Every structure is written in structure tokens, then in C-alpha cells.
Amino acid sequence: NAGVTQTPKFQVLKTGQSMTLQCAQDMNHEYMSWYRQDPGMGLRLIHYSVGAGITDQGEVPNGYNVSRSTTEDFPLRLLSAAPSQTSVYFCASSYVPDRARNTEAFFGQGTRLTVV
């Protein structure tokens, strides 16, 4: 199984450009999420989805959009890149049981984004 696949692995953008970070999973997981990882901050939730057609904001959603048209894919869009969005982005997926217990989250390898 491929697990969670993220593309691209590296990206450099100019301020104001837009781009889409791709995330796909082949485990039929209902729950998918995007995190950003910054030095000294741990991982912070950007957006999440509990199923196709359903998305919601996490703790740091500003400047990002998501959609979930299929179970497998959960792209993250940067609308107008800013230097503050320089970070490493991780996509994760898992099952959603009754109360979200006993659910291992599987992570992609990450996208390192630099905005200049």
C-alpha cells in the first residue's frame, strides 16, 4: 500500500503566487487533515475533513482553502502565498470511529514550502 502520498516534496513560491499541495490516501480513511510544522511550534491543524463533501477549519486556517470531492484526495490550496506560510506541511489520514479513539493517524512525507 502507498499509504498517504503528498506532492510536491519541495516548492519555492514568490509572494502572491498561488499553488495546490496534493494529498492522496489509499486506505479508505474517512478523516483527513492538514498540519503545518514550524520550529518550536509542534504541528498545528490547518483544515480537516470527516468525509467527502465535508470540510472544516482547524486552528490556523487563514490563507488556505481545502476541498474533499473524493474519499481519497484532500488538496490544500494557498490562495496568495506569504512569507509567513513558509513551513513544512503534512497531510494525515485515519478512520473515524465512534469517539475518535484507537485511531492511528498516518502521515505523508511532507511538503517543504518556502515563500520568498
Partner 1 sequence: GDSVTQMEGPVTLSEEAFLTINCTYTATGYPSLFWYVQYPGEGLQLLLKATKADDKGSNKGFEATYRKETTSFHLEKGSVQVSDSAVYFCALRHGGSNYKLTFGKGTLLTVNP
Distance CA 100, CA 81 (A): 33
Burial class of residue 102 in the structure, from the number of CB atoms within 10 Å of its CB (0-12 exposed, 13-18 middle, 19+ buried): exposed
Among 4, 60, 76, 113, binds partner 1 (CB under 8 A): 4
Q: Which is nearer to partner 1, 14 or 40 (CB)?
A: 40
Q: Is 1 in the site for partner 1 (CB under 8 A)?
A: no
Return the residue of 12, 41, 54, 79 that touches partner 1, per CB under 8 A: 41
Least Å distance between CB 13 and partner 1?
A: 21
Q: How far apart are CA 7 and CA 5, in angstroms?
A: 7
- Which positions lie near partner 1, rule CB under 8 A? 4, 31, 33, 40-43, 45, 48, 50, 56, 58-59, 90, 92, 94, 96, 98-105, 107-110
